[in-house]
Each structure stands twice: as C-alpha cells, then as structure tokens.
C-alpha cells in the first residue's frame, strides 16, 4: 500500500516526454500535486519553504545549481549529455525541469541521475525526473534497495518520520570509490553513511579557461533521528557511529576546492553567491577548508548526541 500512490505518476509521466515543454511541465505539476495530497504522505512543515523558486546559476565551469532555494540539485554538463545530482522533493521536479531548460539544456540529454541519500527531500523528485529524461539512475546498494523496493529504508535513523519516495524500476548499483563515466563526464561515488546507511558523496572536476577545481557534493552528516532511535546502541543500524567516523575521515582527506551540500545553507552557498553577485569576491565559490570544517561540525554534533544518550 505504501507505493500505490505512485502508480498514476508512472502511467502518466512515461508519456509526458512526448508533449511540448510547457504542457509537459504542467502535466507533471498536476501529477505531483495529486500525489503529494494523498493520505499516505506525512506532514512536512518545511516543504513549502524548501521548495521556493530559485533562479538557476553556474557554480563553476560546467557545474550548475538547478534546485529550489532550500534543497540542492546540481547539473554537470557536457556536449554529449549531463549528470544530475539529487532530485529534491517530489514537488520540486517541475521546478528542476524548468530550471534545466531555462539554462538552455534539454532534459532528454540528462543521461545519469545520482543521489546523496534517499530521503523524500533529496530523492523525492528522482523518479519523476528519470521518467522525463529517460536517464539511468545510480546509487549505493542500500539506497538502490530503497529506490526500487521499499520507498523508506530499514535502519534509517528517521525511519518512523519519513514519507516514502516514488519507486523506480531499475537502479545501477555502484561501489564505494567507483568512478562513473558517461557523456564525457566523470563523477566518483564515496560512501559517507551515518545520516542514512546508504549516504553517498560525489566528487568531480570542473574547469574554466584551463583552471580545474575539485568539486565535492558532500552528503548530509547530521546525527538526527526519530525519537525512539539511539545512535549508540541501535539494533537496526548497529554500525551508525563507525559509519559516521568513516564519513568524517573522507571529508577531512578529500581534495575540496568547492563544497556543495544537499541543504545549500550547510555549505554557505547563498552567502558565497551574494558575495559573487556584488563583485566583492569573484572567486567566492572557492571554499578552502570547508570540507574539513563540515566534518568538524558534524563530529561535534554526533558527540553531543552520544553524550545525551548516555545521560
């Protein structure tokens, strides 16, 4: 019953790609509105704020921000095709599709969609965007299981508080450290679990005028959960603390010139964009030390949480 709400979307969106751009987006929006109004969807106090419209923009080189204001979706482009990272909310899919088109790119040229973690605010729009574009989807083994079978993953610290994501028929399962090569682009998967058992960060290089930067899309590493979950001794996710420690180590060691995150404010994206807009810092997208700082903040939060669980 959990997944029955998505059967209408599956039937309709398979034909959406045959329609004109405006009509396709209108139909997609109608399907999403019907889907998210069902009783199967849990309340989401933040969704309206997260899904506010955001004008897309170039981050650096061939990397573009195409998500709503509160949830990142990032497009890597090449003449042969594109890669999309994260799909935000189900309600965000029409906005992301429109943003991609407004930049002059075609949805059908999106060849691959990857995900940070399979929560409804980052993976909710993946299925709709896949059906619009025909792209392949790739994810970690745990995330692939959620995307194809359950909609919500067992062992997720927030399991009892999550809305399901729409299912997809097939996901390419990636290995930790595997580099995916598609449409002349390369993006590397780094398993960074803890926030979810299947969390994945992504790295690639973007270049401008021969100057290439190391781009990092770092998955969420916040130790938050449902009320009945304990990170220190939970049977459904017994390795949560060790997973977090592995993820912190990755962020501290990976080359990191520009940091992006699923929630853009976590990497200070809007402050950097404003500085660039005002011309105060032309290179303001550069974030030296930001990955290490993010790891430090996340580790401190985890230690506070573990201390609270001991009390």
Is it the case that residue 13 has pLDDT exceeding 90?
no
pLDDT the model gives residue 32 = 42
pLDDT the model gives residue 278 = 84
Are 73 and 100 a contacting pair, CB within 8 Å?
Answer: no
The Cβ of residue 265 has, within 10 Å, a number of other Cβ atoms equal to 12
In a domain, 46, yes or no: no
Structure tokens belonging to residue 306: 């573990």
Q: Which residue has the tokens 């100057």?
A: 211
Q: Which long-range contacts (CB under 8 A, 24 or more apart) does 275-284 make?
A: none
In a domain, 49, yes or no: no
Q: How many domains does the chain have?
A: 1
In a domain, 47, yes or no: no
In a domain, 63, yes or no: yes
Secondary structure of the chain in HEC code, one letter for each residue = CCCHHHHHHHHHHHHHCCCCHHHHHHHHHHHHHHHHCCCCCCCCCCHHHHCCCCCCEEEECCEEECCCCCCCCEEEEECCEEEEECCECHHHHHHHHHHHHHCCCCHHHEEEEECCCCCHHHHCCHHHHHHHHCCEEEECHHHHHHHHHHCCCCCCCCHHHCCCCCCCCCCEECCCCCEEEECCEEEEEEECCCCCCCCEEEEEEEEECCEEEEEEECCCCCCCCCCCCCCCCCCCCCCHHHHHHHHHHHHHHCCCCEEECCCHHHHCHHHHHHHHHCCCCCCCCCCCCHHHHHHHHHHHHHHHHHHHHHC
Residue 44's pLDDT band, with cuts at 50, 70 and 90, is: confident
Are 40 and 112 a contacting pair, CB within 8 Å?
Answer: no
In a domain, 58, yes or no: yes
In a domain, 44, yes or no: no
Instruction: Using the CB atoms, write b or e for 268-294: b if 16+ within 10 Å.
Output: bbeebbebbeeeeeeebbebeebbbbb
In a domain, 45, yes or no: no
237-285 residue pLDDT tens: 999 999 999 999 999 999 999 999 999 999 999 999 998 888 766 567 8
Is it the case that residue 3 has pLDDT exceeding 50?
no
Are 115 and 192 a contacting pair, CB within 8 Å?
Answer: no
Residue 21's pLDDT band, with cuts at 50, 70 and 90, is: low
Q: What is the mean pLDDT of residues 102-107?
A: 97
pLDDT the model gives residue 27 = 54
Is it the case that residue 43 has pLDDT exceeding 70?
no
pTM above 0.85, yes or no: yes
In a domain, 246, yes or no: yes
Mean pLDDT of the residues in the chain: 88
Q: Which residue has the tokens 């610290």?
A: 157
pLDDT the model gives residue 26 = 52
Lowest mean pLDDT among 16-20, 37-41, 123-127, 195-199: 37-41
**Parent domain of 28:** 4-39+54-310
Is it the case that residue 169 has pLDDT exceeding 50?
yes
Q: Give all strands of the β-sheet with 110-114 in edge-to-edge order.
A: 57-60, 63-65, 74-78, 81-85, 110-114, 136-139, 172-173
- For residue 204, the domain's CATH number is 3.60.15.10
Helices 21-36 and 126-133 cross at an angle (nearest 10°) of 150
246-258 residue pLDDT tens: 999 999 999 999 9
CA–CA separation, 156 and 65 (whole Å):
28
Residue 304's pLDDT band, with cuts at 50, 70 and 90, is: very high
């Amino acid at each position: 019953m959990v997944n029955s709400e998505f059967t209408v979307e599956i039937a309709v969106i398979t034909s959406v790609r045959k329609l004109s751009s405006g009509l396709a987006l209108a139909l997609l929006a109608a399907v999403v509105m019907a889907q998210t109004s069902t009783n199967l969807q849990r309340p989401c106090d933040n969704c309206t704020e997260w899904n506010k419209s955001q004008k897309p923009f170039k981050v650096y080189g061939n990397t573009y921000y195409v998500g709503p204001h509160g949830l990142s979706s990032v497009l890597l482009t090449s003449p042969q095709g594109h890669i999309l990272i994260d799909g935000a909310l189900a309600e965000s899919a029409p906005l992301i599709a429109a943003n991609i088109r407004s930049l002059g790119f075609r949805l059908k040229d999106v060849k691959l969609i990857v995900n940070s973690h399979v929560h409804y605010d980052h993976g909710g729009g993946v299925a709709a965007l896949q059906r619009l574009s025909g792209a392949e989807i790739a994810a970690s083994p745990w995330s692939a299981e959620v995307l194809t079978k359950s909609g919500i993953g067992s062992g997720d610290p927030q399991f009892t508080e999550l809305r399901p994501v729409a299912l997809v028929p097939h996901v390419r399962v990636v290995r930790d450290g595997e580099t995916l090569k598609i449409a002349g682009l390369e993006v590397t998967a780094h398993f960074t679990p803890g926030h979810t058992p299947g969390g994945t960060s992504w790295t690639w290089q973007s270049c401008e005028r021969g100057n290439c930067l190391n781009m990092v899309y770092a998955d969420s590493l916040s130790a938050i959960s449902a009320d009945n979950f304990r990170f220190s001794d939970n049977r459904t996710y017994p390795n949560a603390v060790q997973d977090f420690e592995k993820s912190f180590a990755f962020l501290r060691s990976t080359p990191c010139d520009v940091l992006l995150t699923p929630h853009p404010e976590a990497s200070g994206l809007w402050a950097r964009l404003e500085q660039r807009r005002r011309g105060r810092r032309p290179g303001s997208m550069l974030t030296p030390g930001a990955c290490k700082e993010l790891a430090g903040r996340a580790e401190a939060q985890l230690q506070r949480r573990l201390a609270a669980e001991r009390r």
